Amino acid sequence: METILTTTASKLTIFHSISSTKLNSFSRKFSVGFSGNKNRKKVTTLKQGSFSYLPLGVQASASQAAASSTEAEPTKVGTVPSEMKAWLYGEYGGVDVLKFDEKVTVPQVKEDQVLIKVVAAALNPVDGKRRQGKFKATDSPLPTVPGYDVAGVVVKVGTQVKEFKEGDEVYGDINEKALEGPKQFGSLAEYTAVEERLLAPKPKNLDFVQAAGLPLAIETAYEGLERTGFSAGKSILVLNGSGGVGSLVIQVCYYYLEFFFS
182-221 pLDDT, tens per residue? Answer: 999 999 999 999 999 999 999 999 999 999 999 999 988 9
217 in a structural domain: no
131 in a structural domain: yes
212 in a structural domain: no
Q: Tell me the C-alpha to C-alpha distance, in Å, between residue 260 and each of 21, 237, 252.
A: 16, 7, 10
Q: Does the CA dihedral 168-208-225-194 come out positive or negative?
A: positive
102 in a structural domain: yes
The residue type of 139 is D
**Beta-strand relationship, 113-123 and 2-5:** parallel
236 by DSSP, 3-state: which?
coil
72 in a structural domain: no
Band (pLDDT 50/70/90 cuts) for residue 88 is very high
Mean pLDDT value of segment 6-32: 33
Mean pLDDT value of segment 86-102: 97
Rounded Cα distance between 90 and 28, Å, is: 30
6 in a structural domain: no
- What is the CATH classification number for the domain harbouring 117? 3.90.180.10
99 in a structural domain: yes
For 218-221, which contacts have Cβ atoms below 8 Å and span 24 or more sequence positions? 218/30, 218/32, 218/248, 218/252, 219/8, 219/12, 219/15, 219/28, 219/173, 220/8, 220/9, 220/11, 220/12, 220/245, 220/248, 221/245, 221/246, 221/248, 221/249, 221/252
Question: Of 125, 163, 167, nearest to 10 (Cα)?
Answer: 125
Q: Is the pLDDT of residue 226 over 70?
A: yes
Rounded Cα distance between 218 and 216, Å, is: 6
Phi and psi at 5, nearest 5°, equal -110, 140
Rounded Cα distance between 186 and 143, Å, is: 11
| R_g of the chain computed on alpha carbons | 19
56 in a structural domain: no
Domain count for the chain, please give it. 1
Could you tell me the pTM of the whole model?
Answer: 0.70
Q: Is the pLDDT of residue 251 over 60?
A: yes
- Range(s) of the domain holding residue 125: 83-205
pLDDT at 76: 61
Mean pLDDT value of segment 73-88: 81
